[in-house]
């Protein structure tokens, strides 16, 4: 499969080179697409400089800060239009273990349409020490399971691998979410579309550098969007 790894960025100048170096050292045959939200810290400029070193590194720049969901949708559509048929989404801050992409690929090769990293399945874990973020995540996932069903234990985790078939079933043009609830909407629509969605354990780490993008607007969007998904005619 022609595999694209998508990294959304906003002010990740401290992390982007290390992430690109790590991913290409582990998966030199893969392609990486950075979708940058016009970071004022020069993240995009660093990626442009790295393109001379890595021929399979690509950059899309949003004209303004548009949010996580829009960045992923833009990146996934770019990948579909450029002949890719397998897509991994990963954060730039090393909270997701890059080496675990191997596990996702193994699940895809065994027939999964979506392979989702999970903090809450057996052997999964989170090293988040910010108690507010940690319990918002736990509470948010319990809330999601109550509303959307218990097929998954970690609806909001962003470390996921999708086949082209899954994206076609999800219908990217219908995805409305833009914050972290984007991940739940993608998984829910994949399940409702008949896709085989499997979780695998990951050890979620605190970000290496930079600042979290979590805010009250993102939390509010998640609360109401999950209700909307529950009662939508998908």
Say if CB 113 and CB 163 are below 8 A apart.
yes
Percent of the chain past pLDDT 70, that is, above it, reads 85
CATH of domain 3-230: 3.90.550.10
Single out the residue of 106, 180, 184, 103 nearest to residue 151, CA to CA.
184
The arithmetic mean of pLDDT across residues 155-168, rounded, is 96
Question: Looking at residue 234, what is its pLDDT?
Answer: 59
Average pLDDT over the chain, rounded to an integer: 88
Single out the residue of 18, 30, 154 nearest to residue 101, CA to CA.
30
Residues 92-105 as b/e (b if ≥16 CB within 10 A, e otherwise) read bbbbbbbebbebbb
The predicted-structure confidence for 101-118, as pLDDT tens digits, reads as follows: 999 999 999 999 999 999
Report whether pLDDT(166) > 60: yes
| Euclidean distance between CA atoms 23 and 28, whole angstroms | 7
Report whether pLDDT(64) > 50: yes
The arithmetic mean of pLDDT across residues 151-161, rounded, is 92
Given pLDDT bands bounded at 50, 70 and 90, which one contains residue 213? very low
């Amino acid at each position: 499969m022609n595999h694209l790894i998508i990294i959304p960025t906003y002010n990740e100048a401290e992390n982007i080179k290390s992430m690109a170096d790590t991913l290409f050292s582990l998966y030199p045959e893969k392609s990486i697409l950075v979708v940058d939200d016009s970071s004022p810290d020069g993240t995009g400029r660093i990626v442009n400089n790295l393109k001379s070193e890595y021929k399979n590194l690509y950059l899309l720049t949003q004209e303004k800060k548009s949010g996580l969901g829009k960045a992923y949708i833009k990146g996934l559509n770019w990948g579909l239009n450029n002949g890719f048929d397998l897509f991994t989404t990963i954060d730039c801050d090393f909270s997701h273990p890059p080496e675990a992409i191997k596990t996702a690929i193994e699940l895809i090769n065994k027939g999964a349409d979506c392979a989702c990293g999970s903090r809450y399945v057996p052997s999964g874990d989170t090293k988040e020490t910010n108690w507010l973020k940690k319990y918002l995540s736990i509470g948010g996932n319990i809330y999601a399971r109550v509303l959307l069903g218990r097929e998954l234990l970690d609806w909001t985790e962003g470390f996921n691998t999708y086949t082209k078939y899954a994206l076609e079933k999800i219908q990217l043009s219908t995805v409305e979410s833009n914050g972290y609830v984007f991940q739940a909407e993608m998984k829910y629509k994949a399940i409702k579309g008949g896709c085989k969605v499997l979780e695998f354990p990951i050890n979620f780490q605190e970000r290496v550098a930079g600042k979290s993008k979590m805010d009250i607007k993102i939390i509010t969007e998640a609360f109401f969007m999950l209700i909307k998904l529950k009662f939508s005619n998908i």
